[in-house]
Amino acid sequence: MKITMIGSGYVGLVSGACFADFGHDVICVDKDEGKIDRLNANVMPIYEPGLEALVKSNADAGRLRFSTDIARSVANADAVFIAVGTPSRRGDGHADLSYVYAAAQEIGESVASCTVIVTKSTVPVGSGDEVERIIREVRPDIDFAVVSNPEFLREGAAIGDFKRPDRIVVGTDVDWARDVMQRVYRPLFLNESPIVFTSRRSAELIKYAANAFLATKITFINEMADLCEKLGADVQDVSRGIGLDNRIGPKFLHAGPGYGGSCFPKDTLALLKTAQDNDTPVRIVEAVVQANDLRKRAMGRRIVNALGGDGRGRKVALFGLTFKPNTDDMRDAPSIAIVQALLDSGAVVEAHDPEGMAEAALIMPNVAMVDNPYRAAEGADAVVIVTEWDAYRALDLKKLKAAMRGDVLADLRNIYRVDDCTKAGFNYLSIGR
């Protein structure tokens, strides 16, 4: 099938490359000429394990192409996917749909009859109705269908998630559009990946509801971690004990400094705004958003308190800046609030991250980026593990301690055992233990 992907960012590029790997003929379109030039030279705009090799192999095979020409790219497509950004709108937290609607306008000007337009971007309920209205206003003479097909890709594991999904959600009431989507996803359907067909509005809500629920699980276990510290319990034992219940499950029950990234923060805010606009409060999600924001700021204060309540004249080394491992994404990363709290206290901050330092430097100009964690720790009064990269899971604790001036090791991901860190001479701080 001929597939056009409008938007060559994280979702569009991963999805386009995977569709091409299934054997489809894919064009990824983007208005950023520099990005398209780099992609044609096999230079990835993002870090995602396995993506560079996947793009190269399919581009070399002629199944994956890149273009800035939307009109030509959509003219002969069987399915056109909209995979542009929907960031939080300034002021009210609602999803900014300007890129989605602009894409719909341009698609409408060139799309042929009997084409399926697929909204892959995360959009509030009812957005598909507006996309359809825009295209129909431009081209009242053609038959087309607008379908919702939300993505469920985890950064750092996106290729595996696309090729081995828990489910594929397709929102449409149009029979022929359903047939097209079955053909698009036939390789996965044959592997018995469940395809859930719903109405378009139900599919749009499924995406927001899923992310809000996962954000709730994270926030719940973080609050249990705080309670564990007061009661002398161990949050890792609590997490395992409740996670073995099949009704709850073990995933997203790892205590830490709070959630961040490109999805949970903006999607929970967008869901809140949608609920408010429809006079249907979602009190649990409101509490989750508030608790998560407070938690990230509290992590910074926790480190300052470990330094005696005053960061002036102190050096802190941060290990891990991205919101999670295996990505260079800094959007709403907990490290941002932690760094700000440390700088406000007067501390000097140096940091290391395996992939995220270039992105982090753009938003943390007062933080020195160091190419080795042990070098970052030289003369430090405290080391803080913020992101659980594999590179930090087997540090030489004695070497780390010898490089430092102080003895504080704040492990915000509970990577290490208390006894091991204590024996190495650290004043060891963890979460919920």
Active site residues: 263
The tokens 């386009």 sit on which residue? 16
Token output for 51: 């993506």
Q: Which of 1, 2, 5 is nearest to 16 (CA)?
A: 5
64-67 and 144-148 strand pairing:
unpaired
- Name 242's Cβ contacts closer than 8 Å, sequence gap at least 6: 248, 253
157 vs 151: CA distance, rounded Å: 13
Whole-number Å distance between alpha carbons of 248 and 251: 9
How many CB atoms sit inside 10 A of residue 372's CB? 9
Contact 203, 171 (CB under 8 A): yes
DSSP for 263-294?
A: SHHHHHHHHHHHHHHTT---HHHHHHHHHHHH
Whole-number Å distance between alpha carbons of 42 and 52 = 7
* Contact call for residues 186 and 195 (beta carbons, < 8 A): no
Q: Which two tokens stand for residue 185?
A: 């996803």
Q: Is the Cβ–Cβ distance between 397 and 424 less than 8 Å?
A: yes
Residue 239 CA to residue 243 CA, distance in Å, equals 6
CA–CA distance, 166 with 120 (Å, rounded to integer): 17
Q: Return all residues near 409 (Cβ < 8 A) that are at least 6 apart.
A: 382, 383, 385, 400, 416, 421, 426, 427, 428, 429
Per the DSSP assignment, residues forming a β-bridge with 137 are none
